[in-house]
């Protein structure tokens, strides 16, 4: 095991006020290392490096990591000591030998990943298994455990951009991570003279009048405003990120009594026609029920035996048909009423007529177009 004590010149001593404390920590760390307590030695060397990043201290910290099997950190501090050492570092060959040892161990389980991100202000996070490593800069290299790896790049004004990789042990890979610009936002305020009018951008409903300003991506859009009983309004609008876009729309009533579609999923009068269909079915069921009930109600109540049982069955069927008819007619009336309540869009109306007496059943109605 090679651990180094500090030997510095008088000029270095005068130049760095933290040297005495760093030397004291190194001495304590060397004592722990000789006793085989490399975790405690690492802690002392880390404190010393923060006070005075001398290559001898970096080498000692690298050796502590090396002994603890922390090869990634060991490689980092060996590299720092070799790069910074110059003439001050007389154990460069030892550091290079140990660095090559830990790199050989790393290649068995890790891959060397180099990331070049754009923009240069990007911050990157590398994730693998349950570990992650943050890099507050765009370009870096790091050893990551082989397997599935995710890189995420972030920067103000850019979309968070992920990239998934599958790395093999010993692989060295360089990737380019290009972050996409976030679209600029703008504000759109639409004022309409008809309350409840629907406002669309590129055929997508964004609100009803009166409405508050909405945030939209900057760009050019097709604006349309629709309300029942009014002619549709269409125009092109430009939304930019500097000036709010204010649009004032005056809808004009349709002079011929026609109704403009409001984009609510169907042509005018759809509910009316469905209601008329249900009501018509109800009338049909009522007629059949009346045909069944009529003869039964007209029969003598003195029927007995099998004839009486058959009459009871027919009566139940008849009343069931009449009940179903009433339900269908009721549902149809509700739909017609709803459509009429939405405005002058109903193209038809139906008035049902149902009459039940002890002597007869009559079902009918009046359909108006």
| Beta strands 185-192 and 245-249, pairing class | parallel
Q: How far apart are CA 98 and CA 186, in angstroms?
A: 58
Residue-level pLDDT at 270: 64
- Report the 10 Å Cβ neighbour count for 158: 17
Residue-level pLDDT at 365: 56
* Residue corresponding to tokens 């030997």: 7
* Helix intervals (H) in the chain: 10-15, 19-34, 38-51, 55-67, 71-85, 92-109, 270-298, 305-341
0.85 exceeded by the pTM? no
Let me know: does 289 contact 362? Beta carbons within 8 Å.
no
Q: How far apart are CA 230 and CA 53, in angstroms?
A: 79
The residue-averaged pLDDT of 270-283 equals 73
Q: Read off the pLDDT of residues 206-237 as tens digits, 9 standing for 90 and up.
A: 999 888 888 888 888 999 999 999 999 999 99
Residue-level pLDDT at 41: 96
Mapped onto helix, strand or coil, the DSSP state of residue 137 is: coil
Of the pLDDT bands very low, low, confident and very high (cuts 50, 70, 90), residue 300 is low
Q: Read off the pLDDT of residues 42-72 as tens digits, 9 standing for 90 and up.
A: 999 999 999 999 999 999 999 999 999 999 9
The two structure tokens encoding residue 314: 């027919």
- Residue 259 confidence (pLDDT) above 50: no
Closest CA to 7 of 31, 27, 35, 28: 27
Which range scores top for mean pLDDT: 97-101, 259-263, 289-293, 320-324? 97-101
Residue-level pLDDT at 255: 67
Closest CA to 56 of 19, 9, 7, 102: 7
- Residue 303 confidence (pLDDT) above 70: no
The residue-averaged pLDDT of 22-49 equals 95
Strand partners, 293: none
Q: Read off the pLDDT of residues 87-102 as tens digits, 9 standing for 90 and up.
A: 667 788 899 999 999 9
């Amino acid at each position: 095991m090679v651990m180094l004590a500090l030997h510095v010149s008088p000029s270095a001593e005068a130049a760095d006020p933290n040297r005495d404390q760093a030397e004291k920590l190194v001495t304590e760390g060397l004592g722990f290392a000789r006793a085989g307590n490399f975790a405690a030695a690492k802690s002392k060397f880390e404190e010393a490096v923060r006070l005075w990043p001398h290559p001898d201290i970096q080498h000692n910290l690298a050796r502590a990591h090396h002994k603890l099997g922390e090869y990634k950190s060991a490689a980092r501090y060996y590299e720092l000591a070799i790069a910074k050492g110059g003439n001050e570092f007389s154990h460069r060959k030892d550091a290079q030998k140990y660095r090559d040892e830990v790199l050989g161990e790393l290649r068995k389980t890790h891959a060397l990943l180099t990331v070049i991100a754009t923009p240069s202000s990007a911050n990157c996070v590398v994730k693998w298994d349950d570990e992650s490593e943050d890099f507050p800069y765009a370009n870096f290299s790091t050893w990551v455990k082989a397997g599935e790896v995710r890189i995420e790049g972030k920067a103000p004004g850019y979309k968070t951009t992920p990239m998934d990789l599958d790395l093999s042990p010993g692989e060295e890979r360089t990737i380019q991570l290009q972050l996409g610009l976030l679209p600029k936002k703008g504000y759109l305020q639409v004022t309409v003279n008809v309350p409840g009018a629907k406002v669309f951008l590129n055929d997508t409903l964004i609100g009803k009048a009166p409405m508050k300003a909405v945030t939209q991506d900057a760009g050019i859009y097709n604006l349309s405003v629709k309300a029942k009983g009014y002619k549709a309004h269409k125009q092109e609008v430009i939304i930019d990120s500097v000036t709010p876009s204010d649009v004032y729309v005056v809808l004009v009533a349709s002079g011929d009594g026609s109704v403009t579609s409001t984009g609510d999923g169907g042509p005018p009068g759809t509910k009316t026609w469905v209601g008329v269909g249900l009501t018509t079915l109800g009338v049909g069921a009522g007629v059949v029920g009346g045909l069944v009930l009529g003869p039964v109600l007209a029969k003598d109540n003195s029927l007995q035996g099998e004839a009486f049982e058959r009459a009871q069955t027919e009566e139940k069927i008849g009343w069931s048909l009449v009940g179903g008819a009433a339900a269908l007619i009721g549902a149809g009336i509700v739909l017609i009423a709803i459509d009429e309540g939405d405005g002058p869009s109903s193209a038809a109306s139906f008035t049902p007529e149902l009459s039940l007496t002890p002597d007869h059943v009559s079902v009918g109605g009046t359909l108006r177009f």
